[in-house]
Amino acid sequence: MVKDPVCGMEVDSDTAKFKAEKDGETFYFCSKHCYDSFTGKTEKHHAETSHGSEKCTINIDGMHCASCVSTIENALKKNKGVKNASVNLASQKALVEYNPKDVSKEELEKTIEDTGYNVVKEKSEGNVLKLKVIGMDNPHCISIVGSALDKLKGIESKELLPTEKATIEYNPNVISSNKIRETIKDAGYDNFLDTDSQDEEKKARKREIRNLKYKTTIAMVLSLPLLYFAMAPHIGLPIALFIERYMALIQFIITTPIMLVGYEFFYKGFRSVIKAKTANMDTLVAIGTGAAYVYSIYSSLVGNIEQLYFEVAGILIAFILLGRYLEAKAKGKTSEAIKKLMGLSAKTALVIRNGKEIEVSIDEVIVGDIVIVKPGQKVPVDGIITEGHSSIDESMISGESIPVEKIVSSNVIGATINKTGSFKFKATKVGSETALAQIIKMVEEAQGSKAPIQKLADIISSYFVPVVVTIGVVSSIIWYFFGGMAFALTIFVAVLIIACPCALGLATPTAIMVGTGKGAENGILFKNAESLQMANKVNTIVFDKTGTLTKGEPQVTDIISTSKYDEKELLLYAAVAEKNSEHPLGEAIVNNAKEKKLYLEDPDKFNSITGKGIEVTYKNLLIDLGNRKLMEEKKIDYRNASEDLERLETEGKTAMLIAIDNNIAGIVAVADTLKEFSKEAIKVLNDMDVESIMITGDNKRTAEAIAKQLGMKRVLSEVLPQDKANEIKKLQEEGKKVAMVGDGINDAPALTQADIGIAIGSGTDVAIESGDIVLIKEDLRDVVVAMDLSRYTMRKIKQNLFWAFFYNSLGIPLAAGALYPFTGFLLNPIIAGIAMAFSSVSVVTNSLMMKKYKAKI
């Protein structure tokens, strides 16, 4: 065991995944984080890619349409230091990349608020401790606990309630949450972490839905008599004489509370115009309903009760509120996948500190902590078992419902469920480094990103509102000369109301959110919305052979002697040559020799010849082990081995020639087992008209034999690792849209070159930088699901955009009276309001139908 130079944790040098050379010394690391810290990779990458920029996410309340999105984005981009701003209507969030030297997050939040929207500020959970204090149910007990806390340094605020709840804000640089809990316990009160608290964002969303429900109920109830008064004369319903006499006053009294309930339309709509110099959906609603309301008051005052439009203003606001309420509820369901992921993690952990078992918040677990897990509990963080054994349900990562047996040195993953035994493990990844945290981060970033197809909607929506207002004004002026003021007002209100671009703004992000969420549920992580869209265009998938199509665990199948050396001697010499090899084929030979109890010494000299083989000297013997190219380069005659060589290759085996002192001595053949479901995945891809190509360093005969087993028609053989990216480029030059499937490490250049890089994760390391899509499980059927889900999502987006554009392009001319001269048809503003309200709901509902998606395989 050696020490990680960064965190001090003990690491097994034989199994450590990360190591670095410095000043002739090898250092080993427990995690990528420590490796990056030591090598300076993180800082270098940060400097190269972002030039000192930072990213922040801001939760926003009050956005309702695509125009709101463009308003906020444009306002943010006007700040000095803002490099990019992307606002997502469905998730109600803004992702901003900025230079903190030029602008602060607080200034960005103020910019959003100045445009007329609310910022939902979330407290850092790391600085707030929420406890259930047993017995603190009266003023006296509260006084005791409060006095104890007052003696501590670092307590910034506290709220103690007689319901046994305590909320304590503290400075973690001065005092730990564990010290606070111990102080309360020393005062005589046992306490537990309150795991039922909800974050501010979630509370804000619930508040929004609750307020909308309240406002909608009031508006709908009050609009019923308005609707009756408006329709009664047309369908012969009776109206009492005294009501008819005071109709204008009664409608004014009923409509005014509805207008007050909908005050936010006017406040936000006109504030956006004044502050941000731009109009949005609220502006359209405010102008349309406000005009109807004011004109009705004017008509009442001059005694013209035949031209009252109180019902238009009141009923419009009622139906728009109803639409927003239904939309808010539906939008909440689009993010259910991320909520489920967040709900998977444990809230507390039982750790050993100073020889004692103590319960701490999961945020307080540090690398190197010894954590205790009992039957039925969730594993809090990632780590390695140091004591005990158990079976663990890892379905959260693998999708397999059968528990996995775990013993000492086995890896455990945070949020998986311990089924039977108790065990202790050493924490190796905590906080944002855990597998679950990486998954959540990737899904959040994907859901907050924009697909290229959304750019068209954004461009249109940025000009939409002013164009619609212009159409409304021009058409109403024209109709004023033909139909009078009342008719012109009807046209004006109908145009403004029906043209609200809600559906346009929701069409893409809602589908992206559900699509990426469904991907995460199936163990498929799309890095961003662009990856989700681009996968839809892929018509060719290149699979790396070793470790992707095959298990990457080859075994020696044949040893054939063509000389005086017997099979045992040939295996010994081959194993000595490969002793220090990290290649799977070399490891297979070494493992076979060890199984046969052969004693392996180090070679005297070692030389690796890339793409051909290796050359070593051992006990005065010159040993060459490799392919035909190596033998031909060394001018070694291997004709007496050719027949066996070809036969083995035809069987799909990798046959290596071994020569001793420049004379051919025999053949060592190694074969890898195809992964389960590889053949099935290739078959389904063929059915989807996606060409599958295998890329490998194997010779053509061996590669074609393996491809035939899989049902692949095309093979790229004898490709050196460094040439894989160039082969991908050649395919792209043929006009193909190429996806590359590999392990994300050895295949990184090829994954980057491909239009879509699909990296196969190991379950614990999902943040593979070179992959656009990461498969958590090593199951190639997920490649099929990723392609199919991308196609399905894009179909939904196109459906949403079609209906959004169709609705507006049809509705606006009808509202403007285009058909009136020919048919006498004129769109009633109330019908326009109902249609507008439910257009956005229909788009969100169509996206939500994606939750029923079932994979083809």
Angle at 150 between CA 144 and CA 154, to 5 degrees: 140
Nearby residues of 609 by Cβ (< 8 Å), 6 or more positions away: 615, 626, 630, 633
- Report the alpha-carbon distance of residue 251 to residue 591 in Å, rounded: 90
Rounded distance, CA 194 to CA 189, Å? 15
Helix H or strand E encompassing 406: strand 404-406
Distance CA 11, CA 452 (A): 45
Residue type at 664? I
Choosing from 282, 369, 382, 544, which is the catalytic residue?
A: 544
Residue located via tokens 């590889």: 678
Q: List all residues 6 or more positions away from 643 whose beta carbon is below 8 Å from its beta carbon.
A: none
Whether 203 and 122 have beta carbons less than 8 Å apart is answered as: no
Three-state DSSP class for residue 445:
helix
Reduce the secondary structure of 322-335 to three states and give it as a string: HHHHHHHHHHHHHC
| Burial 262-287, CB ≥16 within 10 A → b, else e | bebbbebbbbbbeebebbbbbbbbbb
DSSP characters for 244-300? HHTHHHHHHHHHHHHHHHTHHHHHHHHHHHHHHS---HHHHHHHHHHHHHHHHHHHH
User: What letters, b where the CB count within 10 A reaches 16 and e where it falls short, cover 778-804?
Assistant: bbbbbbbbbbbbbbbbbebbebbbebb
Find tokens 């981009």 and name the residue. 77
DSSP 605-666: EEEEETTTEEEEEETTEEEEEE-HHHHHHTT---GGGHHHHHHHHHTT-EEEEEEETTEEEE
Residue 551 · residue 672 · CB < 8 Å: yes
**Could you write out the DSSP letters of every residue in 671-688?**
E-PBPTTHHHHHHHHHHT
Half-sphere exposure of 412 (CA within 13 A, CB side): 39
Look at the block and give the residue holding tokens 């008051």: 297
Chain-centroid distance of CA 468 in Å reads 35
Name the token pair of 731: 């395919």
Tell me, what amino acid is at 524? I
Task: Compute how many other C-beta atoms are within 10 angstroms of the C-beta atom of residue 543.
Answer: 26
DSSP state at residue 601 = P
Residues 6+ apart with CB under 8 A from 157: 168, 169
Under a CB-based contact definition with an 8 Å cutoff, are residues 70 and 460 in contact? no
Q: How far apart are CA 547 and CA 550, in angstroms?
A: 5
Point out which residues pair with 716 in neighbouring strands. 695
382 included as an active-site residue: no
For the beta carbon of residue 715, count every other beta carbon within 10 angstroms: 22
Amino acid at residue number 368:
G
By annotation, the residues acting in catalysis are: 544
